[in-house]
């Protein structure tokens, strides 16, 4: 089994010594570099390039520079998607955003994790667990979403939160760790 196949099954894999994964990451990092260095007034070129970077998009989306991801093809965004400056998506696994998702600056969505066992971690092994975000979700600035988290519909995640567990629909949640604080 290849390292990519292990990754896609959610098993421990070695991303650093797999030529195919390395080529995919280099390609997308080159595209992100181009995207991040395009002048803001070149809107058509920026739109074309971000749609080349991401795996699946709807029509209306805006991702501000700087934006970084690992593979791109594992990211899908719904209609009316907005991501503010300096956001990172580590997309070893799928990252899905529904419609009407708004993301504040300096946010991170990390599907990648590392073993707690020192010997495995020191071998460079990692795993990837998907992230899923529903419709009508707003993330304040500096939010971090960790591997394997699902966030429901009609949710507000407060600024500075670290989302370690699933968040149900129709709530306001915040904190470190992020917890439901109020139903809406």
Catalytic residue positions, numbered: 114
CA distances to 34, 53, 55, 96, 99 from 74, rounded to whole Å, are 19, 10, 6, 8, 17
Q: Which structure tokens are listed for 124?
A: 């460079």
Report the C-alpha gap between 142 and 86 in whole angstroms: 10
Both tokens of 144, joined, read: 């971090």
Q: Are 92 and 72 in contact (CB under 8 A)?
A: no
């Amino acid at each position: 089994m290849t390292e990519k196949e292990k990754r896609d099954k959610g098993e421990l894999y070695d991303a650093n010594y797999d030529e195919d994964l390395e080529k995919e990451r280099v390609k997308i990092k080159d595209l992100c570099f181009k995207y991040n260095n395009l002048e803001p007034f070149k809107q058509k070129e920026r739109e074309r390039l971000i749609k080349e970077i991401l795996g699946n998009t709807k029509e209306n989306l805006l991702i501000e520079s700087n934006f970084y991801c690992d593979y791109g093809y594992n990211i899908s965004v719904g209609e009316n998607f907005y991501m503010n400056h300096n956001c990172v998506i580590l997309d070893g696994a799928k990252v899905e955003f529904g419609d009407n998702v708004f993301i504040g600056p300096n946010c991170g969505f990390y599907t990648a994790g590392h073993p707690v066992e020192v010997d495995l971690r020191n071998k460079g092994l990692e795993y990837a667990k998907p992230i899923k975000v529903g419709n009508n979700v707003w993330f304040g600035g500096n939010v971090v979403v960790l591997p394997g988290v699902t966030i429901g519909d009609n949710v507000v995640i407060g600024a500075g939160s670290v989302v370690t567990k699933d968040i149900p629909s129709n709530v306001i949640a915040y904190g470190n760790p992020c917890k439901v604080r109020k139903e809406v």
